[in-house]
A and B are shown apart, each in its own frame.
Chain A
Amino acid sequence: QKEVEQDPGPLSVPEGAIVSLNCTYSNSAFQYFMWYRQYSRKGPELLMYTYSSGNKEDGRFTAQVDKSSKYISLFIRDSQPSDSATYLCAMIPTDSWGKFQFGAGTQVVVTP
Chain B
Amino acid sequence: DGGITQSPKYLFRKEGQNVTLSCEQNLNHDAMYWYRQDPGQGLRLIYYSQIVNDFQKGDIAEGYSVSREKKESFPLTVTSAQKNPTAFYLCASSISPGGTGELFFGEGSRLTVL
Contact = CB atoms under 8 A, between A and B. Distances in A.
Given A34-B102, A34-B103, A98-B99, A43 B41 contact: no
Interface of B: 4, 6, 31, 33, 40-43, 45, 48, 50, 56, 88, 90, 97-100, 102-108, 110
A105 B88 CA distance: 15
B28 to A, nearest CB: 17
Contact of A46 (B6, B40, B41, B104): B104
Interface of A: 2, 4, 6, 8, 31-32, 34, 36, 41-46, 49, 51, 88, 90, 92, 94, 96-105
Contacts of A92: 99-100
A100 B103 CA distance: 9
